[in-house]
Amino acid sequence: MSAAEQPAAVLEVREVTKRYGHGRRDTLRALDGVDLTLHRGEILALVGESGSGKSTLAKILAGSTSQTSGQVLCDGVEITARRHSTARRRIQMVFQDPYSSLNPRMTVRSALSEVLRVHRVVPREQIAEELSRLMSLVGLDDSALDAYPSQFSGGQRQRIAIARALAVRPDILIADEPVSALDVSVQATILDLFESLRSELGLSVLFIAHNLAVVQHLADRIAVMYLGRIAEVAQTDTLFASPEHPYTQALIASVPRMRPRDLEQPPALDGEPPSPIHLPTGCRFNPRCAYAQPTCLIDEPALERVAEGHSVACWFAGQLQQAPTKQSEEFA
């Protein structure tokens, strides 16, 4: 791909690790060398099992916690958790639970105008106008401004949370499972909203989810995380059409479908991720991997490019048959 076609990176994550815990033996490696790039104007989805470090990464990007090592670059400039308010404005976050992400004691108006005033986004006299603009942006009525969060449904709350994030006119939106708490009928409206924000405002979105069906509908690219590392990154179609990492394959196979499936069949993947405190040696997926080979038990594979815009962290990327060769014995 030529330089001209190369989409610009707004956010780059380089070798970021995050450790939790105090003792030497008890450190929990929530992130263990993550590389990821978010391009301008794209929706990048981050999927992975619970505890794989998605939220941790989101928090680091948003600056609510700092990484143990590694770099985060915004437009090529390194940013840290202690960032200037202009830098802080550029990256905004939307949380999973619309019920706890709004202050129950503040009306929508006071919550939004507070942010506008603090950041002097618009002159004081234009605040009212700006509020209406924000409300229409997220598809809410102006009359909602004077209500308290408790008067809204989950989907509406999530819109308000998004409006608050948009109030400071960010370039990048980090959305940590913004639809997981919503009913399907509502979920669709929020997905629509993200879609239009991207196309109308040119926002870059890091969209964290665990539901592959949702991600498939929305994302341009998908990154699959496993136990604190990126297992595979690819364009959405590529990923679903030809998943290279055994974990990605299992994940896709596990998605419940609208058509019947033979439940007598053994599940696509056995066991559950091991504790991030006691990581296995070698490839961290090897205890559950149907294709695990001796190499996999010794060395950890790096995230390698297998095709244009498609990287996989597996020793045998591109060589795997669809049928498992080894039944895993290890469990949990």
Partner 1 sequence: MSVVALSRTVEPLLSVQHLTIGIPSSGGGHATLVRDVSFEVGPGVRYGLVGESGSGKSMTLKAIAGLLPRGVEVLEGEIHFDGDDVLTMSPHERRRIMGPRMAMIFQEPMTALNPTTRVGKQIAEGPRRHLGLSKADAQELAVDMIRRTGIPDPARRARAYPHELSGGLRQRIMIAMALSCKPALVLCDEPTTALDVTVQDQVLRLLAQLCDDMGSALTFVTHDLAVVSQTCSRLSVMYAGRIMEEGNVREVYEAPQHPYTEALFQSAPDFDDPGRRLAPIPGLPPSLTDPPPGCPFAPRCQYAIESCSTGSKPLVEVRHRHLSACDLADQIFGGTR
Partner 2 sequence: MTTFSLTHRFRPSRREARPAARRLRPWYQNRSLVAGLVIVCIMVLLAVLAPVLAPYNPIKQNLNEALQGPSGAHWLGTDKLGRDVLSRLLYGARVDLRIGFLAVIIPFVVGTILGAIAGYFGGWLDIIIMRIVDVFYAFPLFLLVIALVFVLGPGESSIYLAIALVSWVSYCKIVRGEVIVARQQEYVQAARLGGLNNARVLGRHIGPNVISQAITYAMSDIVMDIMVIVTLGYLGLGITPPTAEWGSMIADAQEFITTLWWMAVVPGVAVVITGLGLSLIGDGLTDLLSPERRK
- CB of 88 vs partner 1, minimal distance in Å: 32
**43-48/221-226 β-pairing:** parallel
- The correct pick among 189, 210, 217, 253 for binding ligand ATP (CB under 6 A) is 210
Q: Does 240 bind ligand ATP (CB under 6 A)?
A: no
Q: Which does 53 bind (CB under 5 to 8 A by kind): ligand ATP, partner 2, partner 1, none?
A: ligand ATP
Interhelix angle 154-167/184-201, nearest 10 degrees: 20
d(CA 174, CA 209): 11
CA-to-CA separations, 240 to 99, 220, 225, 262, 279, in angstroms, rounded: 33, 12, 15, 21, 28
DSSP 173-204: EEEESTTTTS-HHHHHHHHHHHHHHHHHH--E
DSSP codes, 201-242: H--EEEEE-S-HHHHHHH-SEEEEEETTEEEEEEEHHHHHHS
Residue 185 sits in the site that holds partner 2 (CB under 8 A)? no
Looking at beta carbons only, is 113 or 156 nearer to ligand ATP? Answer: 156
Q: Does residue 286 touch partner 1 according to CB under 8 A?
A: no
| Of positions 173, 186, 223, 230, contacts partner 1 by CB under 8 A | 186
Residue 102 or residue 283: which is nearer to partner 2 going by CB? 102
Binding status of residue 207 toward partner 2 by CB under 8 A: no
**C-beta of 111 vs 182, nearer to Mg ion:** 182
State the Cα–Cα distance between residues 254 and 240, nearest whole angstrom: 13
What are the φ and ψ backbone dihedral angles of 39, each rounded to 5 degrees?
-90, 160
Pairing of strands 221-226, 229-235: antiparallel
What is the smallest separation between the CB atom of 248 and partner 2, expressed in angstroms? Answer: 20
Q: How far is the CB of 247 from partner 1 (least distance, A)?
A: 9
CA pair distance 3, 203, nearest whole angstrom: 22
Contact region with partner 2 (CB under 8 A), list: 58-66, 258-266, 287-295, 323-331 = 58-66
Q: What is the token pair recorded at 175?
A: 């959305």
Contact set for partner 2, span 90-149 (CB under 8 A): 92-93, 95-97, 99-106, 114-115, 118-119
- Note whether 19 binds ligand ATP by CB under 6 A: no
Beta strands in 25-171 (DSSP E): 28-39, 43-48, 69-74, 77-78, 91-94
249 near ligand ATP, rule: CB under 6 A: no
The answer to whether 295 contacts partner 2 (rule: CB under 8 A) is no
CB 38 within 8 A of CB 44: yes
- Residue 318: which of 297, 291, 298 has the closest Cα? 291
Residue (55 or 286) nearer to partner 2, CB: 55
Applying CB under 8 A, which of residues 72, 131, 251, 283 lies at the interface with partner 1?
251
Residues 19-58 as x/- pattern, contact with partner 1 by CB under 8 A: ------------------------------xx--------
Check residue 238 for interaction with ligand ATP (CB under 6 A). no
Which residues contribute to the site for partner 1 (CB under 8 A)? 49-50, 153-154, 183-189, 191-192, 210-214, 216-217, 240, 250-251, 253-261, 263-270, 272, 329, 331-332
